[in-house]
Amino acid sequence: MDRKLHRLDTLRLRDDQGRDHVVHAYEHLVHLEGLPDAEEHWHPTGELEFRHADGTRVTAQRDGGMRLADGTALHPLPVARPH
């Protein structure tokens, strides 16, 4: 069964040293075979994957932050609120 990734979102996060990072959120899709015109039928598996802009995997944390493979913690950037 063929699989591919579909990018859902691009997130901007910051590490504890103040460096900004870009992380892409993807969903896994599988190709549904045996359907008429099956080349266009891709179905989400429910599996999500996060990757840093450099391609390395990123782990999502329960608190909304993320962690790089080397252990670096990433935190969501504060949302600017209008005054």
Residues 2-17: tens digit of each pLDDT: 889 999 999 999 999 9
Q: Look at residue 21 in the predicted model and tell me its pLDDT.
A: 96
Residue 17 lies in a domain: yes
Residue 37 lies in a domain: yes
Print the domain residue range for 56.
Answer: 3-76
DSSP state of 59: E
Residue 70 lies in a domain: yes
Residue 83 lies in a domain: no
Residue 7 lies in a domain: yes
**In terms of C-beta distances under 8 Å and separation of at least 24 residues, what long-range contacts does 40-46 make, across chains too?**
42/4, 42/6, 44/6, 45/3
In the predicted model, what is the mean pLDDT of the chain?
89
Q: What is the pTM of this model?
A: 0.81
> How many structural domains does the chain have?
1
List the end-to-end C-alpha distance of the chain, in Å, as a whole number: 52
Residue 82 lies in a domain: no
Contact, 49 vs 28, CB < 8 A?
Answer: yes
* Backbone dihedral angles phi then psi of residue 61, each to the nearest 5 degrees: -105, 155
